[in-house]
Structure 1
Amino acid sequence: MAITSANQLELLQTAEAVAREKMIDPSLVVEAMEESLARAAKSRYGSEMDIRVKIDRKTGRASFTRVRTVVEDEELENYQAEMTVQQAKQYMAEPKVGDTFVEEVPPVELGRIAAQSAKQVILQKVREAERDRQFEEFKDRVGTIINGTVKREEYGNIIVDVGRGEAILRRNEKIGRESYRPGDRIRCYVKDVRRETRGPQIFLSRTAPEFMAELFKMEVPEIYDGIIEIKAVARDPGSRAKIGVISYDGSIDPVGACVGMRGSRVQAVVNELQGEKIDIIPWNEDMPTFLVNALQPAEVSKVVLDEDAERIEVVVPDDQLSLAIGRRGQNVRLASQLTGLDIDILTEEEESKRRQKEFEERTQLFMDALDLDEFFAQLLVSEGFTNLEEVAYVDQDELLVIDGVDEDTATELQTRAREQLEEQARKALERARELGAEDSLVSFEGLTPQMLEALAEDGVKTLEDFATCADWELAGGWTTVNGQRVKDEGLLEKFDVSLEEAQTMVMTARVLLGWVDPTELEAEEAEEGDADGETEERED
């Protein structure tokens, strides 16, 4: 096939037709044609030549040109596409390195093989353009709801026609008992859009918590307008869900607005989710209060929050335990997801037994360590004393408020407590040295004899050993494994060493050993302080 005047306009007509069919820019199709013709010309004139083709967007005329670039003498490698400054003087007045010399070459005849190759290039370029168009269209729809038509099922995954492309609803993103047939209408949440070699992949979901939030946004105008905000969603897809909402208008009840007149709004969402029961809970910034609401319909007697561990302990009446836990643990699991806290549920009887056990252990501690009778030891525990340090170093006035304790008794109590602590420290230091603790670690400021003993028992015997420890290895922490929070026990955690204190001690040890330059450390701390200050100013 030759590019003659008879078929020049056909190029533009073909480009227009393909662009309309694939819904892409016609110029992209023309560029693909130019590239395919250039490849065919190279096979005719030589692959080392830099042949370029330009199709006039008005007339359809294709012009073939050969381009040669001026390079330094020592850089000349390709004689067909490059030339030296001296060679270029034959064609140009004052050639410089980097200049190009363009000359027109005769159009090529496209044989059967060349024509087939050109067709493949055009098809490939069109496919790439189509994929780019599809990705650009759907990437901005991530996080929204999309309507589509079921095309087919592949290995449990549903292929959905979403207009200008296909999307996939994986079987683990379907609500359990759902089944679809080709032609069924389906509504899904666009979870992700990714570029892949076979084209953009659009991943849908009907189990994502965000899907429920978007459905409520469609049904409840106050949420769409921002008057009511969905703060948290937890779902057991197809079975039960909990949703936390807050109203920024005191005159509007967030729960009532989401439920709607006679439950019309929430029922519309329930119907879309195959009958999934939804608990709508008023949001509260006070996490214990919010958790009490989240555990409804169960009644809660007491809540104890441990913010560092991100755990919360809930005490319920004995007859409310099964209701609080829910069928197969569903109620407490959803409440945990909603609050982002691990929840321990105890009955009032279990909590009473635990408190009694703690009371007896502390009483026995004071009886043994301070040589007190049971009644007097119980008095100390009842007043809130939990360990020897509190007795030894508390202001004496706090001991004098205990019935039967005068100044002499208080002084005697504190003397005994301090002597006992000193004896414990002496034994701990002896034990640490027996285990091999060296003077470099023993003399390090901030470590008590009991801490030295605990470190030595774990093999940390020198300042170098201590300096290699991570802060969480000393203070402990929490790690998320397979969605579950797992406790990391710290070597010094039982001594109430915080993560910040552990970090400071480790960095101090590294400075003493010369591993860290203190001036660099101060500069980093100053930068962090400035960054925190800027953050606070922006918040103000």
Structure 2
Amino acid sequence: MSFTGISANRQELLQIADAVAREKQIDKSVVIASIEEAIQKAARSRYGADHDIRVHIDPKWGEMTITRHVTVVGDEEVENEYAQKSLSDALREDKEAFVGKEYVETLPPFELGRVQTQMARQVVTHKVREAERERQYDEFKDRVGEIVNGTVRRVEYGNVIVDLGRGEGIMRRDQSIPREAFQVNDRIRAYIYDVRRETKGPQIMLSRAHGGFMAKLFAQEVPEIYDGVIEIKSVARDPGSRAKMAVLSNDNSIDPVGACVGMRGSRVQAVVAELQGEKIDIIQWSPDEATFIVNALAPAEVTKVVLDEEEDRVEVVVPDEQLSLAIGRRGQNVRLGSQLTGWQVDIITESQDSERRQKEFAERTALFQEALDVDEVIAQLLVTEGFTSVEDLAYVDENEIAAIEGFDEDTAQELQARARDFLERETAEQDAKRKELGVEDGVLEVQGVTLPMAVALGEAGVKTVEDLADLATDELRGGFEQKGGERVRVPGALESFTLSVPDAESLILNARVTAGWIEAPVVEEEEPEYTEEGEDEAPEIEETADVEEETVEEEGADVASLEQ
């Protein structure tokens, strides 16, 4: 763009603005505004930087006017004598002057020197580039989640720069499919997963490894997905190798898996071809977490699922001969299943599960024998009935114990009396140990701290409320530290209690409240919801569990008799 003289042909100026606007695909007014700013800067360089000089170009006729402005201000408010005039001085020349009145003087056109021309060119170039970047960002920020077609412009250190027509995207090495190589001028399809505003311009982040890329490809191949009849609930990918996709049909008459596979696999094969032969498992999504997890681990067979909702972990039991299939090559099957469901999946075999249950059964039996002073048959029977601790037995309803076959009310009362005596003795011993360790009574006043916890804290050197309040969650739960260049496990004070992160944080927060360091947070009570009949509406909770009953047989023994 030429700036040798601002008195150039007016139509030529508009033609230049038009050409730049078309080339950069930005609004013509932005180009004209940048020219105005460039000439304004040059004029201030000529007349003085303190002058308030403004430039206006008529967008229709191209006529340019250069004006100098002087504003009337209060007598004590003059900061720039070139752009401001005091009210008293203004009144000497103009009887109608008032604070805020502006005097405008038209300046004559002038020729730009070499330095001023260069400066004007830089201003226009900078403003046009900024407008172009803003246009690209505004255009692509709402296209996140779409598939776009482009041409490879260049490849830099494994990163592919893609020409998208009205913008430029980048596909980093980790977002491409392994063993997939692109050359300059190759056509490419990619998924926009992010658009970032950065100083060097908008960064349009592309991917062919993202789960959304596969989901969008299926939406293009399967009309039912595009129409919303079939919904893709989640996707997990090991790019270039294998993928799992969970689908749900909103129409009971349509099989979502069959629709995605297509006649003789035509639909899924079209997606596989685009993904360089990636194997795709399409599974039925289920609202029941256990069923969904079983489906996600296909083709392995699952015999039992145990959910731990607090830790978002699930333990899956498979037949011994199915272990390698469930885990998959290099853990691929279980890893993809975990990503698909959002649960941390632990897989064990039936023999491992049986061995562990037998060990737990023996440990609980021994506990009841010692705590209640009963024979092995009665202890085993209590474990079989679902009692896992002495506390369970001591404070359960008496009728639940009396209902056990071979027991009566007298037996139930005696068992509960022995259980409570044991707990009292154990509490007294633990309290004595707590005092011996020097743990203050105030620690027990912290909400959530039990007597066994107080003993464990004392053994770890935590003896006051302030000591507890000063801990971090890792110091309670245990964590890892770097020692000598190695990652070493450091045990926590309450590691044996398997506290979750929220529980540990709550314990420390309560200690800080008790210590007076902070105020207790205010908890807003939720108003109960009422049905039309006026009763509290409570959600229905359904729990399913696989229970294998252990049977205890003893010939000629009276299971209701207690060992004296």
Which residue of 1 is the match for residue 553 of structure 2?
none
Cα separation, partners in 2 of 1:175 and 1:502, compared to 1, 3 Å = closer
2:391 match: 389
| Of 303-312 and 66-75, the range deviating more from structure 2 | 66-75
Name the counterpart of 1:71: 73
Q: Tell me which residue corresponds to 1:3.
A: 6
* Distance in structure 2 (CA, Å) of the matches to 1:465 and 1:478: 19
Displacement, 1:265? 0.9
State the Cα distance separating 1:195 from its structure 2 match: 2.0
The SS at the match of 1:73 is: coil
Name the CA distance, whole Å, in 1 between partners of 2:53 and 2:448: 76
How far apart, in 2, do the equivalents of 1:165 and 1:498 lie? 45
SS at match of 1:89: helix
List runs of 5+ in structure 2 lacking aligned partners. Answer: 481-488, 531-535, 540-564
**Structure 1 residue 441, shift from structure 2 partner:** 3.2
- 1:425 equivalent to 2:422? Answer no
**How far does residue 105 in structure 1 lie from its aligned partner after superposition?**
1.5
Q: Tell me if the contact between 2:460 and 2:493 (Cα under 8 Å) persists in the aligned partners.
A: no
Structure 2: distance between partners of 1:397 and 1:496: 33
Change (3 A) 1:249 1:351: same
* Paired residues of 1:309 and 1:478 also in contact (CA < 8 A): no
Residues 123-151 of structure 1: CA distance to partner in whole angstroms, max 9, x if unpaired? Answer: 22221121111221111111100000112
Query: Quick one: distance in 2 between partners of 1:369 and 1:38?
Result: 93
The answer to whether the 8 Å contact 1:151/1:159 transfers is: yes
Within the candidate set 213, 227, 244, 1:242 is matched to 244
Q: Which has the higher contact order (CA 8 A, sep 6+)?
A: 2
Letter of the structure 2 residue corresponding to residue 525 of structure 1: V
Counterpart residue identity of residue 108, structure 1:
F
Shift of 1:17: 1.6
Tell me which moved more, 45-54 or 76-85.
Answer: 76-85
What CA distance in whole angstroms lies between the structure 2 residues aligned with 1:444 and 1:143?
49
Give deviations 1:419-447, integer Å, cap 9, x for gaps. Answer: 11111101111111111122333466765
Q: Structure 1 counterpart of 2:6, which letter?
A: I
Query: Which digits, 9 at most, give the CA deviation of each residue in 1:351-391, with x for residues without a partner?
Result: 00000000111111112222222222222212222111122
CA-based RMSD of the aligned residues comes to: 3.1
Do the aligned partners of residues 126 and 442 (structure 1) sit closer, same or farther apart at CA in structure 2, a change above 3 Å counting?
closer
Cα displacement (A) at 1:53: 0.8
SS at match of 1:140: helix
Deviations 1:229-265 (A, max 9, x none): 1000000000000000001111111111111111111
Deviates more, 1:454-463 or 1:297-306: 454-463
Q: Structure 1 residues 103, 342: closer, same or farther in 2, change over 3 A?
A: same
- Give TM-score, length-normalised by structure 1: 0.89
Distance 2:300 2:95 in 1: 93
Q: Provide the rounded CA distance (Å) in 2 between the counterparts of 1:312 and 1:477.
A: 22
Give the match's secondary structure for 2:236.
Answer: strand
Name the residue aligned to 1:205.
Answer: 207
Aligned residues of 1:309 and 1:477 also touching (Cα < 8 A) = no
1:494 to 2:484 alignment: no
- Match for residue 167 of structure 1? 169
Question: How has the CA–CA distance of structure 1 residues 90 and 396 changed in structure 2, closer, same or farther, with 3 Å as cutoff?
Answer: same
Q: 1:517 to 1:274 in 2, by over 3 A?
A: closer
SS at match of 1:75: coil
Aligned to 2:334: 332
Alignment of 1:358-369 (within 5 A): 358-369=360-371
Contact 1:142 1:191 (C-alpha < 8 Å) held by counterparts: yes
**119-128 or 487-496, larger mean C-alpha shift:** 487-496
- Cross-structure match for 2:379: 377
- Secondary structure (helix, strand or coil) at the match of 1:74 reads coil
Q: 2:523 matched to which residue of 1?
A: 525
Within 1, Cα distance between the matches of 2:409 and 2:529? Answer: 49
* 8 Å contact kept, 1:44–1:108: no
Q: Deviations over 1:390-433 (max 9, x none)?
A: 22222222223344434443333222211111111011111111
With the length of structure 2 as denominator, give the TM-score of the two structures. Answer: 0.85
Stretch moving more, 281-290 or 47-56: 47-56
Corresponding residue for residue 266 of structure 1? 268
Q: Distance in 2 between matches of 1:35 and 1:531?
A: 63
1:183 matches 2:181: no
SS of the residue 1:234 aligns to: strand
Q: Is the 8 A contact 2:465 2:514 kept in 1?
A: no
Q: Please show how residues 426-445 of structure 1 align to structure 2 within 5 Å.
A: 426-442=428-444
Go from structure 1 to structure 2 and tell me whether the alpha carbon gap of 1:403 and 1:112 turns closer, same or farther (over 3 Å shift): closer
d(CA) in 1 for partners of 2:491, 2:83: 65
Label 1:166 to 1:417 Cα distance change in 2 as closer, same or farther (>3 A): same
Query: Deviation at 1:86?
Result: 1.6
Q: Deviations over 1:47-81 (max 9, x none)?
A: 11111111122332211111122233333222111
> How far 1:118 sits from its partner (Å)?
1.6
Report what 1:482 is aligned to.
Answer: none
Q: 1:472 to 1:173 in 2, by over 3 A?
A: same
Equivalent AA in structure 2 for residue 429 of structure 1: D
Provide the secondary structure at the position in 1 that maps to 2:494.
coil
Aligned positions of 1:283-432 closer than 5 A: 283-432=285-434
Structure 1 contact 68–81 (Cα < 8 Å) conserved: yes
Identity of aligned residues (%): 58
Structure 1 distance, partners of 2:207, 2:108, is: 57
Point out the more displaced range, 413-422 or 288-297.
Answer: 413-422
Task: Tell me the distance in 1 between the aligned counterparts of 2:228 and 2:247.
Answer: 11
Question: Residue deviations 1:442-480, cap 9 Å, x none?
Answer: 466765432322233334433444555678987x6999x
User: What does 1:195-234 correspond to in 2, within 5 Å?
Assistant: 195-234=197-236
- Give distance in 1, aligned partners of 2:349 and 2:223: 42
Which of 14, 38, 59 in structure 2 is aligned with 1:12? 14
Considering fraction of residues, name the structure with more helix. Answer: 1
Q: Provide structure 1 residue ranges, at least 5 long, that are not aligned to the other structure.
A: 480-485
Displacement after TM superposition at 1:511 (Å): 5.8
Q: Partner of 1:110 in structure 2?
A: 112
Amino acid at match of 2:71: T
Deviation for aligned residue 1:90:
4.8
Q: State how 1:73-112 maps to structure 2 within 5 Å.
A: 73-90=75-92, 92-112=94-114
Distance, in Å, in 2 between the alignment partners of 1:326 and 1:309 is 24
